Amino acid sequence: MTLAEQLPDAAVATRATVRDWREAVQLAGRGLVDQGATTERYTDEMLQALDDHGPYIVIAPGFALAHSRPSEAVLRAGLSWVSLAEPVEFGSEANDPVSLVIGLAAPDHQSHLEVMAELAGVLADDAVLAELMSADSAADVRSILNRVAHGDAASTPEDSGM
Protein backbone atom coordinates (compact mmCIF):
# COMPACT_ATOMS: atom_id res chain seq x y z
CA MET A 1 0.00 0.00 0.00
CA THR A 2 1.43 3.40 -0.98
CA LEU A 3 1.64 6.41 1.32
CA ALA A 4 -1.16 8.07 -0.66
CA GLU A 5 -3.42 5.05 -0.15
CA GLN A 6 -2.85 5.30 3.59
CA LEU A 7 -4.18 8.88 3.77
CA PRO A 8 -7.98 9.04 3.60
CA ASP A 9 -9.61 12.47 3.70
CA ALA A 10 -10.29 12.06 7.44
CA ALA A 11 -6.55 11.75 8.06
CA VAL A 12 -5.42 14.95 6.32
CA ALA A 13 -5.46 18.55 7.54
CA THR A 14 -3.79 21.12 5.29
CA ARG A 15 -2.72 24.58 6.39
CA ALA A 16 -4.08 23.94 9.87
CA THR A 17 -3.89 26.59 12.57
CA VAL A 18 -2.70 25.44 15.99
CA ARG A 19 -1.53 27.27 19.12
CA ASP A 20 1.37 24.97 20.00
CA TRP A 21 3.05 21.60 19.45
CA ARG A 22 0.60 19.84 21.73
CA GLU A 23 -2.34 20.93 19.56
CA ALA A 24 -0.45 19.89 16.40
CA VAL A 25 0.08 16.37 17.81
CA GLN A 26 -3.56 16.21 18.94
CA LEU A 27 -4.64 17.07 15.39
CA ALA A 28 -2.39 14.33 13.98
CA GLY A 29 -3.90 11.95 16.54
CA ARG A 30 -7.42 12.95 15.55
CA GLY A 31 -6.61 11.98 11.95
CA LEU A 32 -5.58 8.51 13.14
CA VAL A 33 -8.72 8.13 15.27
CA ASP A 34 -11.07 9.45 12.56
CA GLN A 35 -9.85 6.83 10.06
CA GLY A 36 -10.21 4.03 12.60
CA ALA A 37 -6.48 3.29 12.96
CA THR A 38 -6.26 4.09 16.69
CA THR A 39 -8.27 4.89 19.76
CA GLU A 40 -7.95 8.28 21.43
CA ARG A 41 -5.67 6.66 23.99
CA TYR A 42 -2.96 6.49 21.33
CA THR A 43 -2.98 10.30 21.05
CA ASP A 44 -2.54 10.47 24.82
CA GLU A 45 0.37 8.01 24.51
CA MET A 46 2.02 10.19 21.84
CA LEU A 47 1.72 13.26 24.06
CA GLN A 48 3.00 11.38 27.11
CA ALA A 49 6.04 10.18 25.14
CA LEU A 50 6.85 13.79 24.27
CA ASP A 51 6.40 14.87 27.88
CA ASP A 52 8.72 12.04 28.99
CA HIS A 53 11.39 12.20 26.27
CA GLY A 54 11.27 15.69 24.77
CA PRO A 55 10.97 16.54 21.05
CA TYR A 56 12.52 13.32 19.72
CA ILE A 57 9.80 13.15 17.05
CA VAL A 58 11.18 16.25 15.29
CA ILE A 59 13.41 14.22 13.02
CA ALA A 60 14.28 16.73 10.28
CA PRO A 61 14.09 20.49 9.81
CA GLY A 62 10.42 21.47 9.90
CA PHE A 63 9.17 17.88 10.21
CA ALA A 64 7.78 15.87 13.12
CA LEU A 65 6.76 12.21 13.03
CA ALA A 66 4.19 11.89 15.81
CA HIS A 67 4.05 8.32 17.09
CA SER A 68 4.23 6.12 20.12
CA ARG A 69 5.07 2.49 20.76
CA PRO A 70 2.80 -0.19 19.35
CA SER A 71 0.03 -0.75 21.90
CA GLU A 72 -3.54 -1.96 22.26
CA ALA A 73 -4.58 1.57 21.25
CA VAL A 74 -3.38 0.81 17.70
CA LEU A 75 -6.20 -0.93 15.85
CA ARG A 76 -4.37 -1.10 12.51
CA ALA A 77 -1.59 0.70 10.66
CA GLY A 78 -2.37 4.29 9.78
CA LEU A 79 -0.97 7.66 8.80
CA SER A 80 -2.23 11.18 9.30
CA TRP A 81 -0.98 14.38 7.69
CA VAL A 82 -1.03 17.85 9.26
CA SER A 83 0.56 20.77 7.43
CA LEU A 84 0.54 23.95 9.47
CA ALA A 85 -0.36 27.44 8.29
CA GLU A 86 2.23 28.80 10.74
CA PRO A 87 5.10 26.67 12.07
CA VAL A 88 5.27 25.85 15.78
CA GLU A 89 8.17 25.23 18.16
CA PHE A 90 8.55 21.75 19.62
CA GLY A 91 11.72 22.54 21.56
CA SER A 92 14.08 20.90 19.04
CA GLU A 93 17.19 23.02 18.85
CA ALA A 94 18.26 21.55 15.51
CA ASN A 95 14.94 21.18 13.65
CA ASP A 96 12.41 23.77 14.90
CA PRO A 97 10.07 25.28 13.87
CA VAL A 98 7.82 22.49 12.58
CA SER A 99 5.49 22.94 9.59
CA LEU A 100 4.55 19.32 8.94
CA VAL A 101 3.40 16.71 11.44
CA ILE A 102 2.77 13.18 10.22
CA GLY A 103 1.03 10.86 12.64
CA LEU A 104 2.09 7.21 12.49
CA ALA A 105 0.35 4.26 14.07
CA ALA A 106 1.93 0.87 13.55
CA PRO A 107 0.88 -2.43 15.08
CA ASP A 108 4.50 -3.63 15.18
CA HIS A 109 8.07 -2.41 14.85
CA GLN A 110 8.57 -3.75 11.30
CA SER A 111 5.54 -1.84 9.93
CA HIS A 112 6.88 1.29 11.60
CA LEU A 113 10.28 0.94 9.87
CA GLU A 114 8.75 0.30 6.43
CA VAL A 115 6.62 3.45 6.56
CA MET A 116 9.57 5.47 7.92
CA ALA A 117 11.73 4.39 4.97
CA GLU A 118 9.06 5.34 2.45
CA LEU A 119 8.47 8.72 4.11
CA ALA A 120 12.19 9.44 4.22
CA GLY A 121 12.44 8.89 0.48
CA VAL A 122 9.66 11.36 -0.23
CA LEU A 123 10.52 14.02 2.30
CA ALA A 124 14.24 14.09 1.42
CA ASP A 125 13.37 15.87 -1.84
CA ASP A 126 13.09 19.57 -1.01
CA ALA A 127 11.03 20.34 -4.12
CA VAL A 128 8.52 17.61 -3.31
CA LEU A 129 8.35 18.70 0.32
CA ALA A 130 7.66 22.30 -0.72
CA GLU A 131 4.93 21.09 -3.05
CA LEU A 132 3.37 18.96 -0.32
CA MET A 133 3.47 21.86 2.14
CA SER A 134 1.55 24.07 -0.29
CA ALA A 135 -1.12 21.42 -0.95
CA ASP A 136 -4.64 22.69 -0.24
CA SER A 137 -6.47 19.39 0.20
CA ALA A 138 -6.16 15.69 0.94
CA ALA A 139 -6.60 15.03 -2.79
CA ASP A 140 -3.65 17.31 -3.61
CA VAL A 141 -1.43 15.57 -1.03
CA ARG A 142 -2.34 12.15 -2.40
CA SER A 143 -1.80 13.28 -6.00
CA ILE A 144 1.71 14.51 -5.23
CA LEU A 145 2.56 11.35 -3.28
CA ASN A 146 1.23 9.16 -6.09
CA ARG A 147 3.27 11.05 -8.67
CA VAL A 148 6.43 10.64 -6.59
CA ALA A 149 5.69 6.93 -5.98
CA HIS A 150 5.58 6.45 -9.75
CA GLY A 151 8.99 8.10 -10.18
CA ASP A 152 7.81 11.40 -11.63
CA ALA A 153 9.89 14.43 -10.65
CA ALA A 154 8.36 17.37 -8.86
CA SER A 155 6.69 19.82 -11.18
CA THR A 156 7.94 23.36 -11.33
CA PRO A 157 6.25 26.56 -12.48
CA GLU A 158 8.30 26.29 -15.69
CA ASP A 159 6.85 22.82 -16.37
CA SER A 160 3.33 24.16 -16.34
CA GLY A 161 4.12 27.22 -18.45
CA MET A 162 3.78 29.68 -15.56
Kindly tell me the burial class for residue 10, based on how many C-beta atoms sit within 10 Å of its own C-beta (0-12, 13-18, 19 or more): middle
Contact 77, 35 (CB under 8 A): no
Amino acid at 16: A
Tell me whether residue 53 is one of the annotated catalytic residues: no
Kindly name the residue from 67, 109, 112, 150 that is annotated as catalytic.
67
Residues tagged active-site: 67
